[in-house]
Amino acid sequence: GQSLEQPSEVTAVEGAIVQINCTYQTSGFYGLSWYQQHDGGAPTFLSYNALDGLEETGRFSSFLSRSDSYGYLLLQELQMKDSASYFCAVREDDYKLSFGAGTTVTVRA
């Protein structure tokens, strides 16, 4: 079977930095994606790591270590609009994405 572990909740103040960790155990691995979902909305794509290392996109960065089956999403200069659920997702094969249970990020003023 497959499992993805990520913290259930994180709270931080505006301007702070938050790191959301994701460890995975899956039958196959092509890459690790991160999605953001605001309450009741559509998940939106943030980043994809197929190779080890850090990918930076504006205030968000994502890291992958394939040997450790581990990745993280780094949110910098937190803003109120970043309050949302964040999901890590493993692409196990050509077609299937397997998602974690999600991390709820709450940003306080």
Binding site for another protein (CB under 8 A): 4, 30-31, 35, 40-45, 48, 50, 87, 89, 91, 93-102
* Rounded Cα gap, residues 5 and 12, in angstroms: 20
Max CA pair span of the chain: 42
In the complex, minimum distance from the CB of residue 104 to another protein, in angstroms, rounded to a whole number: 9
Of 104, 106, 97, 105, the residue nearest 4 (C-alpha): 97
- Minimum gap (Å) between residue 30 Cβ and another protein: 4
Task: Tell the smallest beta-carbon distance from residue 11 to another protein (Å).
Answer: 17
- Return the closest-CA partner of residue 52 out of 42, 44, 43, 62: 62
Residue 79 CB, shortest distance to another protein, in Å, is: 22
Nearer to another protein, 4 or 107 (CB): 4
Q: In angstroms, what CA-CA distances link 16 with 11, 47, 59, 109?
A: 10, 20, 11, 11
The residue among 13 and 62 lying less far from another protein, judged by its C-beta, is: 62
| Cβ nearer to another protein, comparing 49 with 61 | 49
